[in-house]
Structure 1
Amino acid sequence: MHQTLLIIDIQPSFNPPPWLISGIQPFIGLLPTVATVERHNESHTPFQRQLGWHPAPDDDSLIAADRIFIKHGYAPSPETLDYLKSQNPDRVLVCGLQTETCCLAAGFALFDAGLQPTLITDLTVGSSLDRSGGLGIRLWEHHFRHTLTSSELLASLGTS
Structure 2
Amino acid sequence: MAAGLPAQSLALLVIDVQPSFAVPERIIAGIRALSGRLYTVATVERHDEAVTPFERQLGWKPAADDDSLVAADRLFIKHGYLPPAALIDHLRSRSVERVLVCGIQADTCCLAAGFMLFDAGLHPTLLKWLCVGSSLDRSADLGARLWQHHFGSVLHDADELALVGRGATTRSIS
Separation (CA, whole Å) in 2 of partners of 1:41 and 1:135: 28
CA deviations over 1:53-85 (Å, ceiling 9, x no partner): 100000000001111110000010011111112
Residue in 2 that maps onto 1:123: 130
Residue in 2 that maps onto 1:31: 38
1:25-104 mapped onto 2 (5 Å cutoff) = 25-104=32-111
Give SS of 1:100's match.
coil
Give SS of 2:31's match.
helix
Name segments (4+ residues, structure 1) moved above 3 Å: 154-157
Within the candidate set 146, 150, 157, 2:158 is matched to 150
Give SS of 2:20's match.
helix
Aligned residues: 157
The Cα of 1:88 is off from its aligned counterpart by: 1.6
Give SS of 1:48's match.
helix
Contact 1:125–1:133 at 8 Å: present in 2 too? yes
Residue in 2 that maps onto 1:3: 10
Percent of aligned pairs with the same residue?
Answer: 61
Separation (CA, whole Å) in 2 of partners of 1:96 and 1:144: 17
Give SS of 1:118's match.
strand
Residue in 2 that maps onto 1:107: 114
Separation (CA, whole Å) in 1 of partners of 2:143 and 2:134: 9
Separation (CA, whole Å) in 2 of partners of 1:91 and 1:48: 34
Q: CA RMSD in A?
A: 1.4
Stretch moving more, 10-19 or 80-89: 80-89
Separation (CA, whole Å) in 2 of partners of 1:129 and 1:96: 16
Stretch moving more, 146-155 or 55-64: 146-155
Contact 1:4–1:89 at 8 Å: present in 2 too? yes
Q: Which runs of 5+ in 1 are unaligned?
A: none
The Cα of 1:28 is off from its aligned counterpart by: 2.2
Separation (CA, whole Å) in 2 of partners of 1:146 and 1:55: 29
Separation (CA, whole Å) in 2 of partners of 1:90 and 1:65: 18
Residue 136 in 1 paired to residue 158 in 2? no
Give SS of 2:64's match.
coil
- Please state which structure has a larger fraction of its residues in helix: 1
Q: Which runs of 5+ in 2 are unaligned?
A: 166-174
